[in-house]
Structures are given as C-alpha cells and as structure tokens.
C-alpha cells in the first residue's frame, strides 16, 4: 500500500499506464558565429509555435471548465511573451554562442532556482508551471513530438513522475480513470484541473513510478489516501464495496440541497461556499450552498500582467451578486502576498512572507488599489447582497482606517450619482492571534466576524502548514486554537454580531459537533464538502454539542 496527498476525491480500480517524462537530449556543442541568425530565427519560430499550442489548450479548457480555469494558461502565455525572458535567451545565443535549446534551458533553470529559494509551497507549484513551459518550448525547438493524453484509447490509471497542467488539461476523461504522480500537491495547477474535471487523483506519492509497472492492477482510493498495487481479491472486493457506498452516499446527499442545516432541536447553521471565480457558483449551488461565505478576489489579480480595472472587477462582483439572486456574498478584499504573488505588483522578496507585506498591509499603502476595489464592490452591491470583509487585521486602527476609506468611496459615488447599497455590511477575518485577543473591541467596530481557521492555526502554533518538516504539528483542534475560537465567538455574540468560520476546519466532519456547540453561526467551505456537513448538522443536537464542547474545554 502506497500513499501520498489526496488532491481530488474518489475511488477507481483499473490497469496502470506508466507515462515517462520525455527525456530530451540536448547537444551541448556551441554554434558558429554565422549560425547565430538562423538559431535566433529558430527560437522565434518555436516560441510562436508553443504559444499557439498553449492557446489551443486554453480554448479546450474554456470549453470543458469555463473561462476562469482556462486563465491558468494565460499565465503560461504571459511567460512566453515576456520581453525579459526573450531578451535573456537571445543574449545567451549571441554572446555565448549557445544553441536556443541550451539558452532556454539555462534561463528556465535560473527562474526555477530563484522561485525555489523562497521556500514557499504555493510558489514551488508555480515553478512546475515554468518547467512545463520550458520543456514544451525546448521540444518544439528540437522538433520533438509532444505527447497528447487525449489520445489514450483504453481505460487506465495514469502513473507518472509528474503531470504538467497542459498534459492534465488534455486528459480524455472517458478513458483516464484517475492519476497518481510523484510530484505536486494540493495547490498545484495540475491538482486544481483534476478536481475540476472530477478525476480521482493522488499527488506526492514518493517513488510511485518505481513501485508500479505497466498493466499492474491498481486501486486508487483518494478518499482514504491509499494506493494498492496488484491487491488480493479480498481487498478488491472490499474497495468495490466502499466505492459503491461512496457513490450511493453522494447520490443520497443530493436531497439535502434545498434543506436547511438545522439541528434536531432547531438551531440553524448557515452553510456557505468558498469560491475563487464566478464558475465556482454553479458547483456551490449544486451542492446546496446558501451563501458565498468567502470570495477570494486575489484570483482576479493573478495570472495576468496588469491590474484588473474597476470595470473588470465590477463586472465580476456584479455577476456573482446576480447569480446568487439576493443571497449573501462575502467579498474578501485583495489578499495578495504570503503564498500568493502578482509579478506585475513587484512585491519585495521577504524571508518570512506570511509575516510580512500582505493583504491589507499592501492596500493601506496602495490606496489606489484599495479604492478601486472598494468602488467596484460598492457599485456591484446595488445588484445583490454583497458584504465587504477585510483580512489580516491586527488592530483597531486598521479597521477604523479601512472604514473611513469605505466612507470616502461612498461619498465619491454619491457625487457621481452611482447607485450602491448605502448600508453594506463590513466584517473582518479573524485570522491572527492579535485579532482574536482584541475581538471584543473589534466586534464593536464591525457587523460580523469570519474566523480564518487556516491562518489562525498557523500563526497561533508558529507552524508553516506548507513546510513538510513541521506540517505534522499543524492542528486546528489544538487547545490554544480552541480557546481563541471560544473567545472570538463570545466577543461576537456579546456585541450582538454573528460569527462564521471558513478554512479547512469548516469541512472537517470530526469538528462539526464542536463548532455547533461553541456557537458558530455560519460555516463556509469547499463546495463538495457541503452535503456531508449538512447531514451531520441535521443529525446533531445542540444540547449534546454544548456538552461535548464543555468536556473538550
């Protein structure tokens, strides 16, 4: 039995198809001076060919999964069209008389090395994207045929060292039952695409390409994070039963879609979805989300080479407001920095980016970005129940400053005779121990709280959840985190404000009883988790849940 990181849920059984990374042999011999022109010409031709291929992949993904998911490949195109990238390669061809493939390899290697220095999981996964682009460009320079997973014509489970986003995008879902890779993690673009396509997948399974051979019979169980190779008949029978139960459970939960998450003794918990783009609303509604508990606006700013305009932002927020048809939508202002970067923002490189220049710390310095976003949200608030939520708060001064900025934008919209919701609600994300400890004072300033359990745990325990060496210490049910959650809920309720919780803890079925009992009013999570959490709440009793909390505390 092998395990890794479950990145897309499901159970599949079938034969293995090993896909080797195409090894490219590069001739290290330098070119002659009179070959420089033709070498540069070959580079430009290959670059244009690569851009054309990626544009075709982008179109395919747009048809399958919608515009937002296809924007992953806009980022790939941007790298190829980057003038600095091009200039660096041409310089090596001219000055060092390297071939275009050696020049490309050296520049790609340099970029990856720079990213890996940052010791940041999210950015390390972006390094895989750069590697993907470089490999594709080098293969085109050398006129090597690029494999297409769309041409697989038998039902298989793919085993590979790594699958690039462009390879995953071309998977034929009729024949590819699932995939297992040695590299990658939850936030890699490959995993995001797998989840969107509904393909069961496990990443980060060490040495899996050495442990599995072509045509081995595989059980890929990404619910329990288990991979079996040529298992005994009793294991096969057992896993088939589990698969049947899993599918039955998924179908059974569909009836909960339009039902409230109400405990047996009448306590109603609002259930929301965390989304990154407008396409996610369809999945949220399908799973029975009553509101959007967290809209991560930073994804509007990423994978592009300039800031989204006020109108672009307005259209996106308006679309969400209209699609939710008067249901609440909590829009978190730009939370860039930490593990999320925008190249065009030219953010400083930091030793501790999670403790550095991020989220409102950027917006308070860059009032132009803040005001543009606030203006777009306020304009869109006329079309639905939008709320504003500020992340990474640590003081009363910050929230007072941000409220003043909202007031200023409202005044300017009034002067322009633009409609907006004058009574738009303002909340904060409680995700730092500082905010938790002054939550009673913060509650007097805002309309609601949303506990960001991921960062609250990370900051309270001083554990980088993306660091493999210490990730085993990351525990959102640690006594210190529990005590802070209790304090936050008490502060909100004693000031007549409601409190929600987003982050992984919201979808942790072992924590649901605790969250009900401690008094959380709203839970927001990834959409596929909604039905099971609704089911648990509907079978729960508030009185018993309170007893559980008392015992825990």
> Same domain for 137 and 155?
no
Of 21, 47, 147, 163, the residue nearest 103 (C-alpha): 47
What pLDDT is attached to residue 82?
87
Look up residue 358 and give its two tokens. Answer: 């991020």
> Same domain for 318 and 292?
yes
Residue 245 lies in a domain: no
Options 189, 342, 472, 510, the catalytic residue: 189
**Measured distance CA(336)–CA(411) in Å, rounded:** 27
DSSP string, 127-164: HHHHHHHHHHHHHHHTTPPPP-GGG--S-EEEEES---
Look up residue 78 and give its two tokens. Answer: 């941007």
Residue 409 in contact with residue 420, Cβ under 8 Å?
Answer: no
What pLDDT is attached to residue 354?
79
Of 139, 89, 155, the residue nearest 164 (C-alpha): 139
> Same domain for 285 and 213?
no
What pLDDT is attached to residue 114?
80
- The CATH number linked to 57 is 1.10.274.10
> Same domain for 454 and 531?
yes
Across all residues in the chain, what is the average pLDDT? 88
> Same domain for 310 and 411?
yes
Residue 253 lies in a domain: no
> Same domain for 374 and 471?
yes
What pLDDT is attached to residue 411?
97
Q: Looking at the 3D structure of the chain, how many domains does it have?
A: 3
Q: At residue 226, what are phi and psi to the nearest 5 degrees?
A: -130, 135
**Measured distance CA(553)–CA(551) in Å, rounded:** 5
At a CB cut-off of 8 Å and minimum separation 6, what does 230 contact?
216, 217
Coil/strand/helix, residue 100? helix
H/E run at residue 14: strand 11-19
**Measured distance CA(389)–CA(333) in Å, rounded:** 6
> Same domain for 134 and 152?
no
Of 235, 213, 264, the residue nearest 20 (C-alpha): 213
> Same domain for 165 and 314?
no
What pLDDT is attached to residue 375?
97
At a CB cut-off of 8 Å and minimum separation 6, what does 208 contact?
2, 4, 159, 180, 181, 182, 227
> Same domain for 16 and 66?
no
| Active-site residue flag, 502 | yes
What pLDDT is attached to residue 90?
94
Residue 243 lies in a domain: no
| Active-site residue flag, 189 | yes
Cβ neighbour number for residue 53 with a 10 Å cutoff: 18
> Same domain for 45 and 14?
no
**Measured distance CA(264)–CA(483) in Å, rounded:** 27
Beta-bridged to residue 229, according to DSSP, are 218
Cβ neighbour number for residue 311 with a 10 Å cutoff: 12
Residue 251 lies in a domain: no
pLDDT tens digits in sequence order for the chain, 553 residues long: 788 888 888 899 999 998 876 567 787 788 888 999 999 999 999 999 999 988 888 887 777 666 666 777 887 888 888 888 899 999 999 999 999 999 999 999 888 888 777 666 556 666 777 888 888 899 899 888 776 677 788 899 999 888 776 677 677 778 889 999 988 776 566 776 677 677 899 988 888 999 999 999 999 998 888 999 999 999 999 999 989 988 887 777 778 888 899 999 999 999 999 888 787 788 888 889 999 999 989 878 876 778 989 999 999 999 999 999 889 999 999 998 766 667 778 777 777 777 888 899 999 999 999 999 999 999 999 999 999 999 999 999 999 999 999 999 999 999 999 999 999 999 999 999 999 999 999 999 999 999 999 899 999 999 887 676 787 888 999 999 999 999 999 999 999 999 999 988 998 889 999 999 999 999 998 887 898 899 999 999 999 999 999 999 9
Q: Of 85, 110, 141, at which residue does a domain stop?
A: 141
> Same domain for 214 and 356?
no
> Same domain for 16 and 58?
no
Residue with tokens 């005994």: 232
What pLDDT is attached to residue 164?
72
Q: Of 117, 141, 165, at which residue does a domain stop?
A: 141
Q: Of 141, 163, 186, at which residue does a domain stop?
A: 141
What pLDDT is attached to residue 545?
96
Residue 328 in contact with residue 447, Cβ under 8 Å?
Answer: no
Residue 509 lies in a domain: yes
- The CATH number linked to 287 is 3.20.20.60
Enclosing domain of residue 166: 5-21+148-238
For residue 87, count CB atoms less than 10 angstroms from its CB and return exposed for 0-12, middle for 13-18, buried for 19 or more.
Answer: exposed
Options 76, 472, 493, 502, the catalytic residue: 502
What Rg value do the Cα atoms of the chain yield, rounded? 25
At a CB cut-off of 8 Å and minimum separation 6, what does 499 contact?
448, 449, 450, 451, 488, 489, 492, 493, 519, 520, 521, 522
Query: Quick check: pTM over 0.85?
Result: no
């Amino acid at each position: 039995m092998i395990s890794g990181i479950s990145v897309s849920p499901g159970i599949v059984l079938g034969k293995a198809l090993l896909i080797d990374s195409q090894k490219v042999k590069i001739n290290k011999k330098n070119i002659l001076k009179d070959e420089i022109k033709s070498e540069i010409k070959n580079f430009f031709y290959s670059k244009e060919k690569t851009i054309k291929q990626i544009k075709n992949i982008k179109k395919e993904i747009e048809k399958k999964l919608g515009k937002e998911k296809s924007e992953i490949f806009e980022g790939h195109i941007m790298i190829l069209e980057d003038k600095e990238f091009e200039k660096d390669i041409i310089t090596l061809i001219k000055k060092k008389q390297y071939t275009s493939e050696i020049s490309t390899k050296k520049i790609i290697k340099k970029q990856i090395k720079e990213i890996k220095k940052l010791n940041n999981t999210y950015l390390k996964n972006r390094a895989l994207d750069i590697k993907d682009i470089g490999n594709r460009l080098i293969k085109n320079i050398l006129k090597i045929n690029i494999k297409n997973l769309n041409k697989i014509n038998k039902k298989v489970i793919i085993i590979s060292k790594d699958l690039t986003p462009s390879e995953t995008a071309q998977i034929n879902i009729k024949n590819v039952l699932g995939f297992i890779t040695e590299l990658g993690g939850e936030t890699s673009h490959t995993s995001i695409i797998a989840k969107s396509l509904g393909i069961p997948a496990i990443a980060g399974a060490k040495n899996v390409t050495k442990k599995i051979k072509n045509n081995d019979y595989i059980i890929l169980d990404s619910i329990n994070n288990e991979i079996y190779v040529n298992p005994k008949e009793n294991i096969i029978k057992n896993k088939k039963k589990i698969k049947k139960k899993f599918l039955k459970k998924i179908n059974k939960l569909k009836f909960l879609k339009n039902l409230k998450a109400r405990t047996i003794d009448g306590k109603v918990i609002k259930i929301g979805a965390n989304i990154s783009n407008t396409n996610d609303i369809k999945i949220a509604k399908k799973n029975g989300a009553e509101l959007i508990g967290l809209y991560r606006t930073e994804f509007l700013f990423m994978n592009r080479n300039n800031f989204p305009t006020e109108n672009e932002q307005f259209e996106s927020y308006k679309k969400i407001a209209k699609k939710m048809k008067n249901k609440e939508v909590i829009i978190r202002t730009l939370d860039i920095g930490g593990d999320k970067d925008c190249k065009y923002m030219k953010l400083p490189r930091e030793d501790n980016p999670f403790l550095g220049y991020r989220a409102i710390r950027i917006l308070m310095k860059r009032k132009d970005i803040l005001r543009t976003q606030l203006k777009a949200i306020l304009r869109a608030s006329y079309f639905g129940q939008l709320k504003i939520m500020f992340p990474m708060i640590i003081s009363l001064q910050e929230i007072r400053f941000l409220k003043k900025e909202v007031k200023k934008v409202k005044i300017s919209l009034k002067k322009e005779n633009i409609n907006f919701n004058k009574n738009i609600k303002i909340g904060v994300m409680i995700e730092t121990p500082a905010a938790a400890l002054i939550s009673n004072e913060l509650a007097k300033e805002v309309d609601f709280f949303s506990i960001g359990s991921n960062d609250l745990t990370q900051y309270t325990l001083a554990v980088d959840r993306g660091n493999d060496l210490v990730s085993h210490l990351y525990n959102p049910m640690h006594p210190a985190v529990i005590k802070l959650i209790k304090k936050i809920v008490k502060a909100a309720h004693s000031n007549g404000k409601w409190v929600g919780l987003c982050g992984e803890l919201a979808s942790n079925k072992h924590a649901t009883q605790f969250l009900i009992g401690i008094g959380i009013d709203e839970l927001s999570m990834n959409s596929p988790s909604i039905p099971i959490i609704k089911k648990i709440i509907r079978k729960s009793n508030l009185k018993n849940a309170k007893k559980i909390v008392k015992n825990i505390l």
